[in-house]
Every structure is written in C-alpha cells, then in structure tokens.
Amino acid sequence: MIKAGKVSVNKQVVTELGFKADENDLIEVEGKLLKNEEKVVYLLNKPKNVISSASDDRGRKTVTDIIDSPYRLYPLGRLDFDSSGLILLSNDGELMQRLIHPKFEVEKTYEVTLDGMIREDELDKIRKGVRVEDYVTAPAKVELLRTNQNKYTSFLEVTIHEGRNREIRKMFKAIGYKVVKLHRIREANLELGNLKSGEYRRLKPFEVKKLKAYLDRSDD
C-alpha cells in the first residue's frame, strides 16, 4: 500500500518503506485517518494447557481466546503450557518490550510444588544459581513454605527475574527434583489476587501507571 502511494503522513504521500512517523503525525490510508488505539492491559489467571500466544498453528487454545475484548491483544511474555497463573496481555508494544527485556529484571513469583522432600542446603544452590544446559541461572529468592511427608512433596515460593524457557523446572531438575505444579502469583508489582482459573480483569489506569513506574526504576 505504501509503494502504491496509498499512505500519507501530514497530507504528504510517502512511498519509502520503513518511513518513520511520530505518534502526533496525521497518518492516512486511502484518505482515511488512522486513530491511535487506546492502550489497555489485562491480567489473566491462565489455566494449565493453554498456549501463551495470540495464535497456535496446532489449534490449541490460547490466552487470547479466553479474553473477550474489542482490542487485539498479545501476551506480555510467556507462561509454560503446563503452568498456570498470572499473565499480562496488552496492545501496548512498548510496554511489552520493557517487560520482557532482561535489562529491567522484572521479578516473577511462583508457587512451586516439588516431588520430593527438599533440604535447605539444596535450596541454597538455587539461591546462588545452578548450571542449566550451557548457562548458570541468576540467583533466585526461595522460601520453603511447607512439606507433606505423606505425599512426599515440598511447597515453595520462588522469585526469579530471568524468565528463560522452562527455567524453574530446569533449575530443580539440575539438583534432582521434578516440578509437579507451577503457578505464577506475582509479576513486577502486580498480584494475581483472588482471580479464579480462567478469570481476567482489565488493569485500572493507576495500576498501569504503577507498573510503568516499576519499570522506570531500571532507567535511573
């Protein structure tokens, strides 16, 4: 459409691919003015067995299938197919980049259930960082909440900021434990709260402002 001369910026036709326009510029396509879409953020309690994507070529259910919204949403980051809990969705591309960029070290907190009775000295390894494949994980915050001897399980709260693919599962596998349940309860300064599995809500303006202030701390 650009090559065909159907796009204009401030009433001037542009034919250069990659032409940069400012958010305050008047952009028209075939004579129709484009309007800036309102930026929104949703917080979803993702169920297990749902894809953290806007679409899936295998026809599986995605997080965007759950939310009934007039906006075209994208997940801000990812949450494993077999994990549940807090995930954010938005049409704000800039916010997405800031949330997922390693520079901002966005903390994410999970409730983790392990198969086995883990010891404090083993937790110290996670706190210091363990070798996973070809890298060493960043130090994590780990709290042992309780154990169940009858079911031979341990319940932990784990906070990380790297967020590599299946990182928590790999961390505990590296010290001989299997994660049987992974549920995210917090990201940045946002809490999952009492949302039930599959429920969601739109963030209020003050919550979005606080989230952006949290990210701004890395620019200081």
Q: What is the dihedral of CA 165, 168, 171, 172, to 10 degrees?
A: -140
Question: Which residue among the candidates 22, 25, 57, 80 is catalytic per the annotation?
Answer: 80
CA pair distance 111, 186, nearest whole angstrom? 10
Domain boundaries, given as residue ranges, for the chain: 1-36, 41-103+194-219, 107-187
What average pLDDT does the segment 154-166 reach?
93
Dump pLDDT digits (tens) for 34-72. Answer: 777 789 999 999 999 999 999 999 999 999 999 999 999
In the predicted structure, residue 218 carries a pLDDT above the cut 70: no
3-state helix, strand, coil in the chain (%, to 5): 20, 30, 45
SS3 at position 13: strand
Residues 94 and 199 sit within 8 Å (Cβ to Cβ): no
Q: Which of 158, 185, 190 is nearest to 171 (CA)?
A: 158
Distance CA 64, CA 52 (A): 8
DSSP H/E element including 108? strand 108-115
Number of H helices and E strands in the chain, helices first, is: 5, 15
Cα torsion 74, 76, 77, 79: sign: negative
Mean pLDDT of 102-127: 95
d(CA 107, CA 189): 8
Segment 67-106, tens digit of pLDDT: 999 999 999 999 999 999 999 999 998 999 999 888 889 9
Share of the chain above pLDDT 70, in %: 99
Q: What is the pLDDT of residues 136-150, one digit of tens each?
A: 999 999 999 999 999
Cα–Cα distance, 19 to 159 (Å, whole number): 42
CATH architecture of 1-36: Roll (3.10)
41-103+194-219 and 107-187, same CATH topology: yes
Asked if CATH classification 3.40.718.10 holds for the domain at 41-103+194-219, the reply, yes or no, is no
Going by pLDDT thresholds of 50, 70 and 90, the confidence category of residue 219 is: low
- Tell me which of 3.50.50.60, 1.10.357.10, 3.30.70.1560, 1.10.8.590 is the CATH number of domain 107-187: 3.30.70.1560
* pTM of the predicted structure, to 2 decimals: 0.83
Q: What whole-number distance in Å separates Cα of residue 108 and Cα of residue 199?
A: 19
Active site (annotated) includes residue 82: no
Confidence bin at 220 (pLDDT 50/70/90): low
Give the C-alpha separation, 171 to 179, whole Å.
10
